[in-house]
């Protein structure tokens, strides 16, 4: 196949970026999107040109490193999949694809398709944990957990922190990401004592980072590679309301 790419090239955070066109021939349907970029990058490197920078690591759709927009859709056209698992058989010979980085004020572009998502780490640092020291844990089976709750907690915990939800949201909100962690821990008895504080602190940090607010578009769920439900946002809103009313701050 021959694919034409319009790739956002930006040499540094301060530099002005622009789309650059590349024709890539000899693309196999069995290649992943990132392998196609590897092939292009090898060609660029051989000519001494700077390869296209993009974050990636496991290439199994679990580490959450990769992600960019393909023709305006976060992680591209396939459902519940990251760009590293998107294969070129999703496209056809002669297709023209526009690749651009996540666009959000809280995710500044570092280079080309690579953005700085450290705001997500700071949201977790604000309260996305159970305060338990190593060694102070009780016997694991001492606290039974309703299977339905454990399963729902797992659904929320499956978030890979890729940032697609923010990129897809017209408001660049981080509600799906934040609510997934608030719900995961809030659903478990181990996370119950800090449930109020966690919701308040994580949402406050989210606002501080410059993410927008949720206006119920549902774009986040549509692009989430792990299929995390917007119901968790509703759940976090309830937690936040209750926590605000009960708060002694």
Partner 1 sequence: MTLDGKCPSGPIETAWDTHRFNMKLVNPANRRKYNVLVVGTGLAGAACAATLGELGFNVQAFCYQDSARRAHSIAAQGGINAAKNYQNDGDSVHRLFYDTVKGGDYRSREANVHRLAQISVNIIDQAVAQGVPFAREYGGLLDNRSFGGAQVARTFYARGQTGQQLLLGAYSALSRQVHAGTVKLHTRTEMLDLVVIDGRARGIITRNLATGALESWIGDAVVLATGGYGNVFFLSTNAMGCNVTATYKAYKKGALFANPCYTQIHPTCIPVSGGYQSKLTLMSESLRNDGRVWVPKSAADATKDPSTLPEDQRDYYLERRYPSFGNLVPRDVASRNAKTVCDEGRGVGHEVDGQRRAVYLDFRDAIQRVGKSTIEARYGNLFHMYTKITGENPYESPMRIYPAIHYTMGGLWVDYNLMSNIEGLFVLGEANFSDHGANRLGASALMQGLADGYFVAPPTISDYLARVGWGSKITAEHEGFKAALGETNDRIQKLLNIKGKRPVDSFHRELGNVMWDKCGMSRTKEGLEEALKRIPEIRAEFWENVNVPGENKGVNQSLERAGRVADFLEFGELMCLDALERAESCGGHFREESQTEDGEALRDDVNFCHTAAWEFKGVETAPTLHKEALTFEHVKLTQRSYK
Q: Is 19 helix (H, G, I), strand (E, B) or coil?
A: strand
In the complex, minimum distance from the CB of residue 96 to partner 1, in angstroms, rounded to a whole number: 21
Stretch that binds partner 1, among 41-49, 96-104, 207-215, 238-246 (CB under 8 A): 41-49
By beta-carbon proximity to partner 1, the closer residue of 200 and 214 is 200
In the complex, minimum distance from the CB of residue 75 to partner 1, in angstroms, rounded to a whole number: 13
Q: Does residue 57 contact residue 63 with C-beta atoms inside 8 Å?
A: yes
d(CA 240, CA 245): 9
62 binds partner 1 (CB under 8 A): yes
Q: Which helix (H) or strand (E) holds 5?
A: strand 3-9
Q: Percent helix, strand, coil in the chain (nearest 5)?
A: 40, 15, 45
CA atoms within 13 A of residue 244's CA, in its CB half-sphere: 9
16 binds partner 1 (CB under 8 A): no
78 binds partner 1 (CB under 8 A): yes
In the complex, minimum distance from the CB of residue 205 to partner 1, in angstroms, rounded to a whole number: 10
Query: Which residues in 208-237 contact partner 1 (CB under 8 A)?
Result: none
Beta bridge partners of 209: none
160 binds partner 1 (CB under 8 A): yes
Classify residue 216 as left (phi > 0), alpha (psi -120 to 50) or beta. left
In the complex, minimum distance from the CB of residue 145 to partner 1, in angstroms, rounded to a whole number: 5
Query: Which residues in 42-61 contact partner 1 (CB under 8 A)?
Result: 42, 44-46, 48-51, 53, 55-60
Q: Is 4 helix (H, G, I), strand (E, B) or coil?
A: strand
Query: Which residues in 127-146 contact partner 1 (CB under 8 A)?
Result: 127-141, 143-146
Determine the angle formed by the axes of helices 231-246 and 195-208, rounding to 10 degrees. Answer: 110
Query: Which residues in 91-110 contact partner 1 (CB under 8 A)?
Result: 110
């Amino acid at each position: 196949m021959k694919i034409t790419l319009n790739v956002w090239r930006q040499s540094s955070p301060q530099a002005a970026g622009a789309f650059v066109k590349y024709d890539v021939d000899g693309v196999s349907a069995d290649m992943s999107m990132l392998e196609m970029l590897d092939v292009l990058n090898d060609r660029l490197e051989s000519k001494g040109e700077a390869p296209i920078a993009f974050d990636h690591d496991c290439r199994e759709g679990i580490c959450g490193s990769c992600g960019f927009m393909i023709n305006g859709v976060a992680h591209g056209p396939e459902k519940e999949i990251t760009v590293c698992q998107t294969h070129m058989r999703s496209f056809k010979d002669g297709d023209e694809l526009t690749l651009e980085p996540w666009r959000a004020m809280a995710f500044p572009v570092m280079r080309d398709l690579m953005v700085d998502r450290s705001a997500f780490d700071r949201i977790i640092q604000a309260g996305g944990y159970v305060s338990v020291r190593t060694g102070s844990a009780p016997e694991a089976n001492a606290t039974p957990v309703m299977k339905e709750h454990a399963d729902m907690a797992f659904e929320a915990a499956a978030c890979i922190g890729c940032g697609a939800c923010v990129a897809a949201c017209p408001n660049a909100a981080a509600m799906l990401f934040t609510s997934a962690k608030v719900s995961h821990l809030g659903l478990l008895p181990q996370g119950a004592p800090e449930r109020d504080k966690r919701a308040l602190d994580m949402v406050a940090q989210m606002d501080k980072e410059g993410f927008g607010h949720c206006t119920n578009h549902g774009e986040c769920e549509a692009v989430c590679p792990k299929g995390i439900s917007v119901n968790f946002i509703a759940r976090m809103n309830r937690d936040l309301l209750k926590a605000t009313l009960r708060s002694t701050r």
